[in-house]
Structure 1
């Protein structure tokens, strides 16, 4: 089969097949009189194996090791086990990083609960603040989370103060509030 047929059979881009050939993952192929590459079932099986390993997020170097042992079935597979254990460790580390990222994004989302003008958007303001500091969001999760908690506490304090003022004003006679307001407005006019 020609490269286009192999690409259709394995659902792989032609350029990807050529790349794997350049990287030595696919063996050399026979050529026709017109200099077309001719692929066999073994190429399709090997390409499918490579694609499956890539789907498991293995690097090309890891795939080379696996292909070496696949091509030498009588060798001990201890190195294959070690390779997979190491890969599992990398995946577990990335999962931890992604969970940290998820927490950071959720905390960032907490900064803007309601729609408002973009100039007062807590998310945009926090991202701007983070961008001002070298290292940014991902390298200082502890500092980021502390800043988020601090901002959350500040908003809670503002709400409590506003609630206390409302409660106090609800206890003050109405005519007193009007007098204070009138006096304040009059003093502002006099000072201008």
Structure 2
């Protein structure tokens, strides 16, 4: 999904629609201080500047790529400093990639185990179930 900022401020509902996320998602990122508290209109409506919109797009893209909140904090800290190097970003990205590869291996092992267990099960109306036996098995 493309997360393009506009050249004008947006209210929270319009921002959520534009970026295809929930209002609660925006509120969450404000509450955990990834997104700064927005300016308010005289009537009290929150308005998000183009810079706020760009930052939200950055956050949403990074989350789509599986970056954790803490990894995202690190990336945003680098971006906010305006003094980061490509090497610093690459180091964070490679660490994230290593984590993803580990999770993929873990999921492949899980898939193999579940496939083996389920292959032993015939289904049907019998009371004995190899899947339940495997789940109830001690250590």
TM-score bracket, shorter-length normalisation: 0.7 to 0.9
CA 1:32–1:116 in 2, change beyond 3 Å: closer, same or farther? closer
Counting only pairs closer than 5 Å after superposition, residues 173-184 of structure 1 correspond to structure 2 as none
The structure with the largest alpha-carbon Rg is 1
> How many residues get paired?
130
Equivalent in the alignment of 2:72: 63
Q: CA deviation at 1:87?
A: 0.7
1:125 and 2:133 matched:
yes
Which secondary structure does the structure 2 equivalent of 1:120 belong to?
coil
**Alpha-carbon distance in 1 for matches of 2:60, 2:41:** 26
CA 1:28–1:125 in 2, change beyond 3 Å: closer, same or farther? closer
Equivalent in the alignment of 1:26: 35
1:116 and 2:128 matched:
no
Are the counterparts in 2 of residues 21 and 28 from structure 1 also a CA contact under 8 Å?
yes
Counting only pairs closer than 5 Å after superposition, residues 72-151 of structure 1 correspond to structure 2 as 72-112=81-121, 114-128=122-136, 130=137, 133=138
Equivalent in the alignment of 1:17: 26
Q: CA deviation at 1:120?
A: 2.6
**Alpha-carbon distance in 2 for matches of 1:64, 1:106:** 38
Q: With structure 1 as the length reference, what TM-score do the two structures score?
A: 0.62
Which secondary structure does the structure 2 equivalent of 1:25 belong to?
coil
Residue in structure 2 matching 1:47, options 42, 47, 56? 56
Which secondary structure does the structure 1 equivalent of 2:127 belong to?
helix
**Alpha-carbon distance in 2 for matches of 1:126, 1:28:** 50
Q: With structure 2 as the length reference, what TM-score do the two structures score?
A: 0.83
As a proportion of its length, which structure holds more helix?
A: 1
Deviations along 1:46-90, whole A, 9 cap, x unmatched?
A: 111101111111111111111122233333232211111111111
Superposed CA RMSD: 1.7
Are the counterparts in 2 of residues 10 and 48 from structure 1 also a CA contact under 8 Å?
yes
If asked which structure has higher relative contact order (CA below 8 Å, sep 6+), I would say: 2
Runs of at least 5 residues in structure 2 that lack an aligned partner in the other structure: 1-9
Equivalent in the alignment of 2:3: none
CA 1:71–1:122 in 2, change beyond 3 Å: closer, same or farther? same
Are the counterparts in 2 of residues 65 and 80 from structure 1 also a CA contact under 8 Å?
no
